[in-house]
Amino acid sequence: MSRIGNKVIILPSGVSVSVADGNVVSVKGPKGTLSQVVDSDISVEIEGSEIKVKRPTEQKRHKALHGLYRSLINNMIIGVHAGYKKELEIIGVGYKASAANNVLELQLGYSHNIFMAIPEEIKLSTTSEKGQNPKVILEGIDKELIGSVAAKIKSLRKVEPYKGKGIRFVGEVIRRKAGKSASKK
C-alpha cells in the first residue's frame, strides 16, 4: 500500500489543474504554468479542490509510479503557488560569486574563473556581505530543475572534510575529519 500515493492533494486558491489527452497534467498558478506527462496506467482524478492519483493493480511497478506521480503533481502545485528557493554558501579564502544576465561567475581557487549559464526559468542572485560567506540564491517554480542546477553548482567545488572549504547548501552539516596529529619526539 503506497502511503504517499493514497494521500489526497488539496488545491490552494488561485491554482487550477487540468488533465489533457495523453494523460498530460497541467498546473496553472500565480507564478506560472507547469505540465507533466503521467504514465498511461496511472489515473488522475480532479474532484472540486481535491486531486486523487489512482493505480489499476497492486503490481510493484504500479505502486512505484503511484507515489512518484502523486509527488510530482504535488511539487508542481507548490511550485506555481509558492515557488522554490535554494541557497548555496561558498566557503573558502578568495572564493567569490557574481551574477549578470543569468550567467553565474565563480572564483573557486582554480587558475581560471568558471562561467555557468543558468536556465531562463530560474531567477539567480548572489549576495556577499562583509564578514559573511558569499551566497548564491536560486528561485523558481520547477523543483527538479532548481535541484539539478544547485547540484551542478555544488559539484564545481565539493566540500572537503578537513577545513570545510567548498560549496554547500545553507544549513548543511558537513562531517569533519581531525587531520594529521603532530608526531612526538
pLDDT in tens, 156-170: 999 999 999 999 999
pTM of the model: 0.88
Strand bridging mode 50-54 / 84-91: unpaired
* pLDDT the model gives residue 4: 86
Looking at domain 9-82, its CATH superfamily turns out to be Ribosomal protein L6 (3.90.930.12)
Start and end residues for every CATH 3.90.930.12 domain found in the chain? 9-82, 84-169
* pLDDT the model gives residue 2: 59
Whether CATH 1.10.10.10 fits 84-169: no
Of all residues in the chain, the percent with pLDDT exceeding 70 is 97
C-alpha dist (Å) from residue 109 to 91, 96, 113, 114, 172: 11, 9, 8, 10, 22
| Nearest of 82, 16, 22 to residue 46 by alpha carbon | 16
- Strand-pairing partners, residue 55, are none
Instruction: Determine the residue type at 19.
Output: V
- The pLDDT tens digits of the residues spanning 9-55 come to 999 999 999 999 888 999 999 999 999 999 989 999 999 899 999 99
